[in-house]
């Protein structure tokens, strides 16, 4: 990219992040970001699809707020009453966390902007439900990976749902393996280059990874 183009790109990204430049007493320039936008700096990924089955039908929602709790297969996600899926999560205590790839982005956004209360999302988004081994919620055939999960806790005060993984599957035959990460403002970052620091991190890595 040419210099002028580079500067323009920086200005655009600063504008998007609403960064305000301020001068400290010592004359050093620091950047202040609107606090309401701070979450965008920590937005995790990848964006996932979470399936449920309430005993009557399958449903899917999009979730970008997830967290790995430790090296055991325990995860957390933030969701609550405002989603139709939540009732099924709470009553069946089961779900599948499916990992879509960048080629599925429009479906991922579509699934996250309509409700299972009035939409059959598997049909609408042409996705294939596959029976799992451990839970009634279906795996999604088109996804790169699927994790069958049990809900082991719901921390109501913060709308956090804690999941224990029971079985996981990865589609090694899939060519597209890049996942997407939500920034939080309707834009997404696609997985890029993989950097290897395994030797440096050896003392912190659990056995077998
Ligand atoms: C990119 C994206 C990320 C989302 N992340 C979350 C999330 O982390 N937590 C949440 O409760 N809703 C999230 N949503 C919104 C739900 O997916 C959305 O409310 C959906 O309609 C719920 O479906 P349901 O009503 O069928 O359960 C996200 C939506 C999109 C498009």
pLDDT tens for residues 178-198?
999 999 999 999 998 889 999
- Asked whether 83 and 64 are in contact (CB, 8 A), the reply is no
| CATH code assigned at 170 | 2.30.110.10
pLDDT given for residue 101 in this prediction: 97
Tell me the per-residue pLDDT of 76-113, one tens digit each, with 9 for 90 and over: 999 999 999 999 999 999 999 999 999 999 999 999 99
- Residue 156 and residue 84 in one domain: yes
- Residue 103 and residue 13 in one domain: no
Tell me the per-residue pLDDT of 46-58, one tens digit each, with 9 for 90 and over: 999 999 999 999 9
Pocket around ligand 1 at a 6 A CB cut-off: 47, 59, 61-65, 78-79, 83-85, 109, 112-116, 182
User: Average per-residue pLDDT in the chain?
Assistant: 87
- Residue 166 and residue 103 in one domain: yes
pLDDT of residue 12 exceeding 50: no
- Give residue for tokens 């010592």: 26
Lowest mean pLDDT among 12-16, 138-142, 144-148: 12-16
The Å distance, Cα 23 to ligand 1 centre, comes to: 39
Mutate to test the pocket of ligand 1, among 83, 88, 121 (most ligand atoms within 8 A of CB): 83
Mutate to test the pocket of ligand 1, among 61, 118, 119 (most ligand atoms within 8 A of CB): 61
The Å distance, Cα 79 to ligand 1 centre, comes to: 8
Residue 199 lies in a domain: no
pLDDT given for residue 36 in this prediction: 78
Residue 166 lies in a domain: yes
pLDDT of residue 19 exceeding 70: no
- Asked whether 74 and 124 are in contact (CB, 8 A), the reply is no
**Can you tell me which atom of ligand 1 is nearest the CA of 78?**
9
- Residue 22 and residue 61 in one domain: no
What average pLDDT does this structure show over 8-22? 50
- Residue 81 and residue 180 in one domain: yes
Residue 197 lies in a domain: no
Residue 7 lies in a domain: yes
Per the structure, the count of domains in the chain is 2
Residue 203 lies in a domain: no
- Residue 120 and residue 32 in one domain: no
DSSP 163: E
* pTM over the 0.95 mark: no
Residue 66 lies in a domain: yes
- Residue 107 and residue 161 in one domain: yes
- Residue 82 and residue 29 in one domain: no
The Å distance, Cα 167 to ligand 1 centre, comes to: 23
Q: Which pLDDT band, with edges at 50, 70 and 90, does 7 fall under?
A: very low
- Residue 147 and residue 85 in one domain: yes
- Residue 88 and residue 103 in one domain: yes
CA atoms within 13 A on the CB side of 188: 19
pLDDT given for residue 207 in this prediction: 86
Q: Which pLDDT band, with edges at 50, 70 and 90, does 31 fall under?
A: low
- Residue 16 and residue 112 in one domain: no
pLDDT given for residue 70 in this prediction: 86
Strand 188-190 versus strand 160-170 pairing type = unpaired
Residue 208 lies in a domain: no
pLDDT given for residue 32 in this prediction: 73
- Residue 18 and residue 76 in one domain: no
- CA-closest residue to ligand 1 atom 4: 63
Query: In which domain, by residue range, is 81 found?
Result: 43-190
Tokens of 138: 């279906």
- CA-closest residue to ligand 1 atom 30: 112
């Amino acid at each position: 990219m040419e210099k002028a183009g580079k500067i323009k790109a920086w200005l655009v990204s600063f504008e998007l992040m609403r960064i305000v430049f301020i001068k400290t007493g010592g004359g050093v320039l620091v950047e202040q970001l609107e606090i309401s936008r701070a979450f965008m700096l920590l937005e995790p990924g990848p964006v996932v699809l979470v399936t449920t089955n309430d005993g009557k039908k399958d449903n899917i929602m999009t979730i970008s707020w997830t967290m790995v709790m430790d090296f055991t297969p325990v995860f957390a996600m933030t969701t609550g009453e405002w989603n139709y899926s939540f009732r099924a999560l709470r009553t069946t205590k089961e779900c599948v966390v499916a990992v879509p790839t960048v080629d599925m982005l429009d479906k991922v956004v579509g699934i996250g902007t309509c409700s299972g209360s009035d939409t059959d999302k598997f049909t609408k988004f042409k996705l294939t439900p596959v029976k799992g081994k451990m839970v009634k919620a279906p795996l999604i055939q088109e996804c790169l990976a699927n994790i069958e999960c049990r809900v082991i806790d719901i921390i109501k005060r913060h709308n956090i749902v804690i999941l224990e993984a029971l079985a996981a599957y990865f589609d090694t035959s899939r060519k597209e393996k890049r996942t997407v990460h939500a920034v939080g403002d309707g834009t997404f970052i696609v997985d890029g280059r993989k950097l290897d620091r395994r030797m440096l991190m050896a003392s912190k890595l659990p056995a077998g990874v």
